Structure 1
Amino acid sequence: MRLIGHRGARSEAPENTLSGFRYLRALGVRAVEFDIHLSADGELIVIHDAELSRTTSGHGLVREHSAAELAALDACHQPAHKGFAPWPKREGVPTLAQVLTELYDFTHIELELKLQHEEDEAAVVAALPAIWQRFNLSGRARCTSFNPRLLHRLQQQAPELPRGFLVEDNFAGDIVQVAQALGCDAIGPHANLLTAELVTQAHAASLWVSTWTVNDHQRALELAAMGVDGLITDTPMLAKSWLSWSA
């Protein structure tokens, strides 16, 4: 089972920052999941929330700020009352190009597309094939999303890009069936949804199974026993001690 850092190493370093990704590398982990939004000037930006206030010194929507404005924010120093540990370095919100330059030696990259506006979806789908080529992502990266419309757009306009269908723990449909209809090669169910039967069904359909967000030792062992392919965790340093893993 592959150990995958969630937003870098969300509980151990500032999430979705260059510092967080460097921290993950220092642990010896070369597998990561992170999130993508679009800036006001059309840059692909690595940040989880559509709104800035939880993880940065800024306020308002990501899509209402330019990449330069986002880079000028503080994405590492958050107040202690918000649950963030102090971090010794100040960094802004990075672009996808900056992150992929940093992750040149990573062997497994999951790019979660958080877009909800159709015009943003169209812009990102149009940009991704060139990014795949520029950063040599073939064989080591996958686009993932909770948004079936976006996955369908990728299927139609960039079918060569691997795709994964993400689902929350309240999803009541047939995950494998939807993933197959969207031409996905992977599913990413919440850990609460996973059963040995679902993993077996997915593997029978040639689907990779990664799950999130697993920060509990016992649950990690249960998922490993089911045959889950990738375990996404906020605590990669801790998780390394739980089970045999590959970077």
Structure 2
Amino acid sequence: MRKHKLFALVLLSFGLLSFIVTPVSAAGKGNLLSPDRILTIAHRGASGYVPEHTILSYETAQKMKADYIELDLQMTKDGKLIVMHDEKLDRTTNGHGWVKDHTLAEIQKLDAGSWFNKAYPEKAKPQYAGLRVPTLDDVLKRFGRHANYYIETKAPETYPGMEEKLIASLKKYKLAGKHAKPGQVIIQSFSKDSLLKIKKLDPKLPAVQLLEAEQLTSMTDADLTDIKTYAVGIGPDYKALNAQNVRNIRSHGLLLHPYTVNSEADMRRLLNWGVTGVFTNYADIFQKVKKEYK
């Protein structure tokens, strides 16, 4: 029996717990959004090994059997959705300035891989040089219905119309609407307004509210109850979690997918507390930890 289950039963015998989360093994069955599943979410793809948010990063994550690949969205000057974490080009390409000030054609000429070789020489590979910034459609076309997508609307206040364009692309590839598989796409954002807009455009798309550490620290039961009205879960900074607030979050019926969990020790601790998945740069490591977790 798992240690956390034994601990929970002891607490129950003293009437100290009214709700207990019982995670299952990595081979958990059922719906992707079932609380009985522990999800491996490939943060920016297999970004611990490959330049983030590139097709190769997502292909690598797929080979690692990640449950979801994570996409961060920005929008170009000419209104095209691209997959990139930062609002500026400088960190992950040889370009400079804001994404919103450049056209797609300009961004597609940039090198989105050489930075990784310089930053992580021990992981450098020649084929990383010259990797390109993909559009949302590039990723959806490449993987289609053979992948699950965890998509973040980044800085939606900077990009009017981002949500409508996202829904249009998802429908184009039958990832939203009547042909969509439940849970194949999850939309996440730090912006409640953006998530509410998504829910209005497509009520069937599950949403997850992202939270900074300080937001989680000040979270009340009323806040969690409110989040439950429009989201299936929350995605907080894992550093703000502890055994008590994990139990409280889960007692509100919310899924819990903290970011960004990269060490085995943190993975094991969070699983023992009862999280239902993690964002990680090392999907292969979390898959291994899940298999060992009993």
Q: Which residue of 2 aligns with 1:53?
A: 90
Say which of 185, 188, 194 aligns to 1:150.
Answer: 194
Find the aligned partners of 1:107 and 1:226 in 2 and give their Cα distance.
28
For this pair of structures, how many residues does the alignment match? Answer: 242
Structure 1 residue 136 corresponds to structure 2 residue 174: yes
Percent pairwise identity = 27
Q: Which amino acid letter does the alignment assign opposite residue 31 of structure 1?
A: Y
The DSSP-based 3-state class of the residue aligned with 2:250 is: helix
Q: Which residue of 2 aligns with 1:179?
A: 227
Q: Kindly tell me: are residues 134 and 36 of structure 1, through their superposed partners in 2, closer, same or farther at Cα, counting changes over 3 Å?
A: same
Structure 1 residues 1-247: aligned runs within 5 Å: 1-78=38-115, 81-83=118-120, 85-87=123-125, 88-89=127-128, 90-117=130-157, 120=159, 122-137=160-175, 138=180, 139=182, 140-171=184-215, 172-174=218-220, 176-181=224-229, 183-244=230-291
- Identify which range, 137-146 or 39-48, moves more after superposition: 137-146
Q: Kindly tell me: are residues 72 and 81 of structure 1, through their superposed partners in 2, closer, same or farther at Cα, counting changes over 3 Å?
A: closer
Q: CA deviation at 1:116?
A: 4.1
- The TM-score, its normalising length taken from structure 2, stands at 0.75
Q: CA deviation at 1:105?
A: 4.8
Q: Kindly tell me: are residues 232 and 115 of structure 1, through their superposed partners in 2, closer, same or farther at Cα, counting changes over 3 Å?
A: same
Name the one with the larger helix percent. 2
Q: CA deviation at 1:115?
A: 2.0
Cα RMSD over matched residues? 2.2
Q: Verify the 8 A CA contact 2:156 2:162 in the aligned structure 1.
A: no
Q: Kindly tell me: are residues 45 and 17 of structure 1, through their superposed partners in 2, closer, same or farther at Cα, counting changes over 3 Å?
A: same
- The TM-score, its normalising length taken from structure 1, stands at 0.88
Q: Kindly tell me: are residues 97 and 80 of structure 1, through their superposed partners in 2, closer, same or farther at Cα, counting changes over 3 Å?
A: closer
Q: Which amino acid letter does the alignment assign opposite residue 198 of structure 2?
A: L
- Identify which range, 95-104 or 36-45, moves more after superposition: 95-104
Name the one with the larger strand percent. 1
Q: Kindly tell me: are residues 155 and 79 of structure 1, through their superposed partners in 2, closer, same or farther at Cα, counting changes over 3 Å?
A: closer
Find the aligned partners of 1:229 and 1:27 in 2 and give their Cα distance.
19
| Ranges in structure 1 where 5+ consecutive residues have no aligned partner | none
The DSSP-based 3-state class of the residue aligned with 2:290 is: coil
Find the aligned partners of 2:108 and 2:214 in 1 and give their Cα distance.
35
